[in-house]
Homo-oligomer: A and B are copies of this chain.
């Protein structure tokens, strides 16, 4: 094997942390785009696992095209009079979700029930992640999986596994460390949807967080869907909104000394009764459509200050889809380098594939770095290169981790 083409150089811009204006966004797991990402990736995992179980290797598929058409809902406070004695309102017209993609349906005489697997994976994902969503009334999951080209069948998981070849000229990019604003935006959504949600089941999964930093002023804007069955009255509603504000404010203070201002549900007009109350915890119930690859990038954020790949990472085949692999791997490399090598203020890893070459030998692996004061690129170049090299050598770990669901793709 030839030596890998790994370039380490100085990044020709300031660290994002030092730029004047910074914008960051995260669409929570209940945002319609994220719902599609989550379903697409769940379907992908289920298919990959099924192929491994049944034919011992992952066959060709791509399921990165889930489309969600919003429903209509009539949320109601839990103490309002209800037509059937239930608490809260109802979905009037179900959300429609169409899982689209390609998958190999037959291999050497073995039929693989890809449509049934996709259907189950999508419904399981919804059931697990959206406790207020009633799968019997609130959502229709449809599936349209075609077969791709027959010559794209890929070998993975066999004895004597070899490294797959790149199927495309593609590009992945990763960054580390996250800036304070990025950290706050990402952590806030994750914590709201776990720690906070456990105590406050009235918080729905559709939490969208926008961070804007101008100099040393950080503004965090949260749009958070509340779930009607857990909200008795408007007072409950405003109390929860305030609790979210305090929770995020405190959380932010852990990560920054800058001034932080948090707004929650700014579009509300409480007097008019125009508030962000939902029945299911997601705006997909009322007018917000969604699809895969329109929201968070592979690191969980939308960061216009940084180079981003347009590739939809969720739903793609983790064995041979080079865009998916390189986006995840470059992020992983960046994080690992920063964890293991001191003196880095901002690091950008780019991986560029070359069609027909093994995926562990990119056309170029390009590490661009802003060092901390007093550190030269040459001081750390060897260490950076070593991490990049080792990660590339173990590129198939990414595939394995993705199949096992250990890596979030959005």
Which residues of A are interface residues toward B (Cβ below 8 A)? Answer: 9, 12-14, 19-21, 23, 50, 53-54, 62, 64-65, 67, 69-72, 74, 83-84, 90-94, 96, 98, 100-102, 105, 111-113, 115-117, 119-120, 123-124, 136-138, 140-144, 146-149, 151, 169, 171, 173, 210, 212, 214, 221, 266-267, 274, 286-287, 289-295, 302, 304-310, 312, 350, 352, 355, 364, 366
Contact = CB atoms under 8 A, between A and B. Distances in A.
A140 B111 CA distance: 20
A377 to B, nearest CB: 14
B94 A23 contact: no
Given A92-B113, A307-B304, A149 B102 contact: no
B149 A286 contact: yes
Contacts of A304: 171, 173, 307-310, 350
Given A69-B65, A304-B308, A100 B289 contact: yes
Contacts of A113: 74, 90-93, 137
B115 A136 contact: no
Contact of A119 (B69, B102, B117, B136): B136
Nearest to A54: B83
Nearest to A115: B93
A62 B286 CA distance: 13
A305 B302 contact: no
Given A65-B67, A140-B141, 20 more contacts: A12-B14, A12-B19, A21-B366, A54-B83, A70-B146, A92-B113, A93-B115, A93-B116, A94-B143, A102-B287, A116-B137, A124-B136, A140-B143, A149-B287, A171-B304, A291-B292, A291-B293, A294-B312, A304-B350, A306-B307
Contact of A69 (B83, B90, B140, B144): B144
Given A115-B94, A141-B140, A286-B149, A352 B69 contact: no
A146 B291 CA distance: 16
Nearest to A63: B289
9 contacts: A12-B19, A64-B289, A69-B100, A74-B113, A94-B116, A96-B142, A96-B144, A293-B294, A304-B308
A289 B102 contact: yes
A35 to B, nearest CB: 13
A292 B69 CA distance: 13
Given A69-B65, A72-B147, A74-B111, A119 B98 contact: no
Contacts of A84: 53
A169 B221 contact: yes
Contacts of A142: 96, 140, 142
Contact of A352 (B23, B67, B289, B366): B23
Contacts of A83: 50, 53-54
A348 B49 CA distance: 45
Q: Which 7 A-B pairs have the closest CB atoms?
A: A13-B13, A67-B67, A92-B113, A116-B137, A148-B287, A65-B289, A69-B100
A146 B266 contact: no
A99 to B, nearest CB: 10
A93 B92 CA distance: 20
A123 B94 contact: no
Contacts of A151: 274
Nearest to A142: B140
Nearest to A20: B9
Contacts of A111: 74, 92
A146 B93 contact: yes
Contacts of A116: 90-94, 137-138
A69 B14 CA distance: 43
Contacts of A212: 169, 352
B305 A307 contact: yes
A54 to B, nearest CB: 5
